[in-house]
Amino acid sequence: MPNTEKTKEQIKENPKQSSPLTIEDDYTPVVYDPQYILMVNKLKKYFPIKGGMVSKTVGYVRAVDGITFNLKRGTTMGLVGESGCGKTTAGRTILRLSGGKTGGQVLFNGQEIYDLSHKELRALRTKMQIIFQDPFSSLSPRLPVGEIIGEAVREHELVPKEEFDDYIDQVMDNCGLQPFHKTRYPHEFSGGQRQRICIARALALNPEFVVCDEPVSALDVSIQAQIINLLKDLQEKYKLTYLFISHDLSVVRYLCDRIVVMYLGKVVEIADKKELFENPLHPYTKVLLSAIPVPVYGAKRERLFFHGELPSPLNPPAGCRLHTRCPYATPECASCEQELRDVGGGHMVACGRYEQLQGQ
């Protein structure tokens, strides 16, 4: 049985598994396929909401609610969806950075990362890195840059002492930083340079897999392009695999090979980039794509809209989670939850009506 956050107390609280406290963890274990560095199977991450005098769990924020996807070695998977749909939580849960998982599996190179001991996890940490959205708050203001980049290298004894300085110089150079930057502090750099420091810090550990959580959202457009190109170059050079989280579909289109679209904690569509952009099947994906500006003077794309706000992940709608906002929803959409199914060529969609909606 996988190691989950569910405690005996929580299970006792939910004998009938029917209240907002219900946690279901039913999945068929995946068989490891070596072409995938990462296999995510029905992964769930719920945050408990405490209430009452004795601070009892009264509900859960179902931030990630059973997501499934596989990530091929050396490729980039985009993870998109509107704010609050669970992208960051998914990235952090995959890296085992947010406590336990609530359910499902995360296989990294075939190993369930939640089954690893702390010692094993520590050894694996160098292989899995994360780059955050805000480069300033993720850098210690009290350490010089050389120390920030080299701290974990030294900790994990990745290079012999006598080679340490040259190694850090080399990593900095690969990320477009100069050796004299080593003795400076993060506040002395621009936003783009700070993000380069974050990338160098991650890269110094020689990772195989990097979660990039909106790494360019806080930067201005010209700097965004530099950082995206840097990520692309580094991927080629070091055969890295990325999970690239972003709001910006133009960036995702440029950088990613395959794309996962999330809505309210669920995956609604997965397809190769070209297929997704040319033939989106889920109504939610169609709305997201309609927001991308057309790069031709005077050209207009019909902008599609959904009504209403994103419902709360504390109490998500039954059936298809989109049915409260989807103009094409039928009464069945409110009662039947849609599983992701392969509709050919690795294109997966979780909508019961996608065939009727084609061309709309």
The only residue of 27, 47, 136, 185 in contact with ligand ATP, by rule CB under 6 A? 47
Tell me the CA end-to-end span of the chain in Å, nearest whole number: 45
- Contacts with ligand ATP, 261-300, as mask; x by CB under 6 A: ----------------------------------------
Q: Which stretch binds Mg ion (CB under 5 A): 19-27, 84-92, 115-123, 343-351?
A: 84-92
Interface with ligand ATP, residue 323, by CB under 6 A: no
Calpha distance 227→197 (Å, rounded):
11
Q: Which of 172, 118, 108 lies closest to 145, judged by CA? A: 172
- Closest residue to Mg ion, based on beta-carbon distance: 88
DSSP calls for 268-303: EEEEEHHHHHHS--SHHHHHHHHTSPPSSTT---PP
Interface with ligand ATP, residue 243, by CB under 6 A: no
- Contacts with ligand ATP, 62-81, as mask; x by CB under 6 A: -x-----------------x
The only residue of 76, 89, 105, 129 in contact with ligand ATP, by rule CB under 6 A? 89
Q: How distant is the alpha carbon of residue 261 from its chain centre?
A: 10
The residue (of 87 and 323) whose beta carbon lies closer to ligand ATP is 87
Mode of pairing for the β-strands spanning 241-245 and 56-72: unpaired
Q: How far is the CB of 213 from ligand ATP (least distance, A)?
A: 7
The only residue of 10, 57, 68, 88 in contact with Mg ion, by rule CB under 5 A? 88
The residue (of 88 and 324) whose beta carbon lies closer to Mg ion is 88
Sign of CA dihedral 342, 249, 196, 85: negative
The residue (of 90 and 333) whose beta carbon lies closer to ligand ATP is 90
80 phi and psi, to 5 degrees?
A: -125, 165
Interface with ligand ATP, residue 215, by CB under 6 A: no
151 sits in which H/E element: helix 145-155
Listed in sequence order, the residues at least 6 apart from 77 whose beta carbon sits closer than 8 Å to its beta carbon are 69, 71, 242, 243, 244, 256, 257, 258, 259, 260
Q: How far is the CB of 245 from ligand ATP (least distance, A)?
A: 7
The residue (of 177 and 261) whose beta carbon lies closer to ligand ATP is 261
Q: How far is the CB of 291 from Mg ion (least distance, A)?
A: 18
* 281, 70, 273, 212 alpha-carbon torsion, rounded to 10°: 120
**319 close to 335: Cβ distance less than 8 angstroms:** yes
> What letter would DSSP give residue 208?
S
The only residue of 42, 87, 101, 181 in contact with ligand ATP, by rule CB under 6 A? 87
Interface with Mg ion, residue 195, by CB under 5 A: no
Q: Which of 255, 322, 316 lies closest to 285, judged by CA? A: 322
The residue (of 83 and 222) whose beta carbon lies closer to Mg ion is 83
Interface with ligand ATP, residue 101, by CB under 6 A: no
43 sits in which H/E element: strand 36-51
Q: Which does 86 bind (CB under 5 to 8 A by kind): ligand ATP, Mg ion, none?
A: ligand ATP
Q: Which does 85 bind (CB under 5 to 8 A by kind): ligand ATP, Mg ion, none?
A: ligand ATP
Interface with ligand ATP, residue 88, by CB under 6 A: yes
**271 close to 288: Cβ distance less than 8 angstroms:** no
Calpha distance 239→147 (Å, rounded):
26
Q: How far is the CB of 61 from ligand ATP (least distance, A)?
A: 4
The residues that touch ligand ATP, with contacts defined as CB under 6 A, are 47, 61, 63, 81, 83-89, 247, 313
The residues that touch Mg ion, with contacts defined as CB under 5 A, are 88
